[in-house]
Structures are given as C-alpha cells and as structure tokens.
C-alpha cells in the first residue's frame, strides 16, 4: 500500500517497526466524499445552540477548562440530527479587546482608527474586535478535511461567544493514552495517530493555517469509527490573557517562552512532545526525555505495555481504527428494543401502547406534580388539564389530548417530558409531523439523555421523509437506551 508521507512523518517511517497497521482500504476516497458532504460554515443563533444542548445542560458537558482559559464544551444535536460540539467561552476568556486589536488587525487599519478625532468608545472597540473574531472563525471554518474535527460555525450574540464543531464521541488521546482502565492503546494505533496528526497539520499548513495553539493530547479526538482527528479549536488563539499555551511550562516550546509568539517551529516542537507521549504512554517533559536518551535509558522511555508489539516484517495488515480501539463499528446495528422497533416501523399503535404502559416513570427528577404538596387554584387547574389529556390519550382521542396537553404546557407552571412525548405521538396520529418533531425535540431539551425522545424524533423524521436523519436519531435512541440499561444493571 502506497502512503504519501508528510514531512512531519518521515521520522516514523525510518523506524525499524515497519509492520504497523496504518490505513483501512479505500479510506482516501471515502473520506474525501465525507468531507465534501459537510455543511458550509455558518453563524448560529444563541437560541439554536441552547436547543441543541438542551439549554447547556450539565449532562451534555464534554470537557471543562480552568481559569487560564475558562470555557466549557458541550455535546449537542441540531434539528438536522447532526451531532455537534459547542465550545462556550466565559466573557473573560477572550484576549483583551485592545490587545487583540494591536496584535490581530492590520497596522494600516489601526492607524486609521487612531486618526479619528473622537476617542473610541469601549463599545466601538468591542464591536471591531468581535468582527475580527468572526472573521477568524470564518477563516478556520473554510477548512474541510477528514483529519480534522471541522469547525461548522460560531455564535457572537450579546455577551455570548461560542464555536461549533463536529462532535467526536470517542474521547481524547489523553484519555486513551494516559487514563485507560483495561486496554492500553496498541502500538499500531499509536502510529496511526502520528500519521493522521501529521496529515492534519500538513493540510492546515497548505491552507495557510500553519500555526496551532497548545498542541497536546487533549486536542486529538476520536470519531465514531475510532479514527483520530485534530480539533480545529486550537487553530484560534482564545485564552484569557491572549497567550497560546496553557500547559505546564516544561512542555512549552522554548521559542515561545522567549518571544510569547507561536511559530511553525513551536508546532513542530509540540508535535515532538506528542511523539514522546505516544512512545512512553506518559507525559514526559522533553528535557527529561533528552536526559534518558543521553543516558541510553530507552527502556524508561518506552511504554512497557508495548512489549511484544514490535515487528520487523514488511507486511502491513489493514485493520480499521475501530477494531484497534475496541469501539463498536458505527455501521453495526444493535438489536432494537420494542419501542425502537415500533418507531423504526412507524407503528403508531404499538408506540401508543408502550407509552401508555410506561406512564410517567421517566419523569423522575423532573419538576412535575409529584414534587408539590399543596396546590394553588392555578396549579390544580393545570394538573386537571394534564389528567384530562391522559384520559383522552388512553382512549385514543388524539385531537382532544393535544388540546388538553397544550393547556398544560402553555400554563408553564410545570414541565414534563412525558407530556411532550405523548403530545408528539398525538401529532403523529393526526398527520402533524413537524409539530410531532418539535415536541420530541423539546422532550429531549428537558431530559437530554432520554432515549424515548430520540425514538420519537426518528418516527417524526421518517414521516417527514428525512430517512437519513431518522436513522441517526434511531441509532442515538438505541445508544441512550443501552447506556440506561447498563447503568441500571450496575445498581
């Protein structure tokens, strides 16, 4: 198999360990077509991202960072069923607007600003700064490559600053390399990480994005097929103090320590520290690694878990990443539960029976009527409308059920994902498919990990003729239900 190596990967192929599992067959053409199918970069509204992340629910937090770069990354899902990662910044996380203007906007533009006869108001400076920020995001958003977790959009609304990227569901390199519980990462997979990372950096360089800020094991993510990808978040400077590195000084490129600026050499240095990470299975400071090499103490530098995984054979075995990572393949279909089967077939009668038997069991933990001991007249009236809706639902009088459930929802004194789920089915029964989808999505906003909401979304999407999106929602429902059952089994 011929592989065109980048400059960054030459050192890997000079190694005596040639029999590495590098690529799966036909991966280049497949990945090119997948990248071409990605949507163009766009601006999202805050409301869209709130809905996608269930109101930035704690259950959807993927990662958090400390005071040096205070931000939170959430997983979410758009109306199209595309999974996304949303990076939400604290208002103090971005560089100071005046400093940013000096370092980012062209000198001629700054000179034009200073020629103004009136002093610039802080709001004006902030406005200009955020325009530049949006342009920076748009520039990164032009990149499209299957070695990247591609940037899909941004949101600059009010005091909110958010970036939106593809969601990578299988953790970070740091998790698999440093914090594994049962199976250490295989040598072949480590070499594949090196190759994919080098290709990602080379692609970015070819597109004029040679600088990467704070390249480390947390910036490498794994997609649903177990393939490593480079986060595009690191292509933008976004720390509180405008600095590009938040890691320990022992891992910071020496030229950055001297100048405070990222250079192409800084990226190569950080790439080298990642090679040490992959070889050792530990986060060894480069200076310490040099001492070990000078002392010929290579055993201390090599991960003991890799013993017996090296070979001098020239042959290569084509094994997909998901096999090496022990990740179920995305194309494999888990057996569907009765509700999943019913939603897959759009068997509305069977869905109705299952929801009726389930009752309000999954509303536990949600503020509803069970949480109140005393009722005002308004609360009692609201409760009565829900009860009337339940009676109509049971008797399959779906139009009446819609009316009663709507009265309950519009009152706004209580929330219930089950009510939204039941009204969603009532809408399906009444051929009001878009309304059914809206309610199913609202149920998941209230209860982000509720599998029934995903199943109902699948049924509604299929009714709308959106078969691909329906399959995605069906798969998500299966995954959420499996996690719920596994958690219950452990208790």
Active site amino acids: 214
Give the three-state DSSP class for 455: helix
Q: CA gyration radius for the chain?
A: 26
Separation of alpha carbons 351 and 343, rounded Å: 7
Separation of alpha carbons 316 and 309, rounded Å: 13
Separation of alpha carbons 483 and 163, rounded Å: 28
DSSP state of 172: B
Task: Give the other-Cβ count within 10 Å of 132's Cβ.
Answer: 16
Tell whether the torsion through CA atoms of 360, 362, 364 and 367 is positive or negative. negative
The DSSP result for 218-287, as a single string, is GGEEE-TTS-EEEEGGGGS---TTS-S--S-GGGS-HHHHHHS---HHHHHHHHHHHHHHHHHSS---HH
Separation of alpha carbons 324 and 56, rounded Å: 33
342 token code pair: 């019913």
Nearest to 383 by CA among 331, 419, 337: 419
**Over the range 254-266, which residues count as b (16 or more CB within 10 Å of their CB) and which as e?**
eebeeeeebeeeb
Separation of alpha carbons 24 and 26, rounded Å: 7
């Amino acid at each position: 198999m011929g592989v065109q190596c980048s400059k960054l990967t030459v050192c890997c192929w000079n190694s005596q360990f040639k029999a590495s599992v590098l690529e799966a067959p036909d991966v280049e053409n497949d990945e090119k077509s997948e990248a071409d199918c990605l949507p163009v970069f766009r601006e999202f509204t805050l409301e869209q991202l709130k809905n996608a992340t269930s109101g930035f629910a704690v259950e959807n937090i993927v990662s958090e960072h400390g005071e040096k770069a205070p931000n939170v990354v959430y997983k979410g899902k758009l109306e199209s069923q595309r999974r996304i990662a949303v990076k939400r910044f604290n208002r103090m996380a971005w560089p100071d607007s005046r400093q940013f203007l000096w370092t980012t906007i062209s000198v001629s533009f700054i000179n034009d600003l200073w020629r103004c006869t009136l002093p610039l108001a802080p709001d004006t400076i902030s406005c200009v700064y955020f325009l530049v920020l949006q342009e920076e995001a748009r520039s990164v958003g032009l990149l499209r490559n299957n070695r990247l977790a591609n940037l899909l959009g941004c949101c600059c609304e009010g005091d909110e600053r958010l970036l939106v990227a593809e969601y990578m569901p299988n953790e970070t390199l740091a998790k698999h390399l440093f914090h594994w519980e049962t199976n250490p990462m295989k040598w072949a997979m480590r070499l594949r990480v090196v190759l994919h990372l080098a290709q990602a950096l080379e692609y970015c360089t070819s597109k004029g994005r040679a600088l990467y800020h704070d390249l480390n094991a947390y910036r490498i993510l794994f997609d649903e097929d177990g393939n490593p990808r480079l986060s595009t978040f690191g292509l933008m400077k976004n720390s509180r103090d405008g600095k590009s590195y938040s890691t320990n000084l022992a891992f910071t490129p020496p030229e950055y320590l001297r100048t405070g600026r990222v250079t192409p050499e800084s990226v190569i240095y950080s790439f080298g520290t990642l090679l040490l990470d992959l070889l050792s299975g530990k986060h060894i400071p480069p200076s310490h690694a040099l001492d070990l090499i000078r002392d010929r103490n290579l055993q201390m530098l090599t991960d003991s878990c890799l013993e017996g995984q090296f070979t001098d054979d020239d042959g290569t075995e084509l094994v997909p990443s998901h096999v090496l990572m022990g990740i179920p393949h995305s194309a494999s279909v888990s057996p569907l539960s009765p509700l999943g089967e019913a939603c897959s077939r759009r068997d509305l009668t069977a869905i109705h029976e299952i929801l009726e038997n389930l009752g309000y069991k999954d509303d536990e933990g949600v503020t509803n009527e069970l949480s109140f001991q005393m009722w005002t007249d308004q609360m009692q009236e609201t409760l009565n409308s829900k009860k009337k809706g339940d009676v109509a639902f049971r008797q399959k009088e779906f139009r009446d059920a819609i009316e009663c459930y709507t009265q309950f929802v519009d009152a706004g004194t209580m929330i219930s994902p089950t009510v939204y789920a039941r009204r969603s089915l009532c809408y399906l029964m009444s051929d009001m498919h878009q309304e059914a989808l809206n309610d199913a999505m609202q149920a998941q906003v209230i209860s982000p990990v509720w599998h029934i909401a995903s199943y109902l979304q699948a049924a509604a999407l299929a009714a709308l003729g959106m078969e691909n999106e329906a399959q995605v929602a069906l798969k998500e429902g299966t995954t959420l239900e499996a996690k719920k059952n596994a958690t219950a089994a452990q208790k």
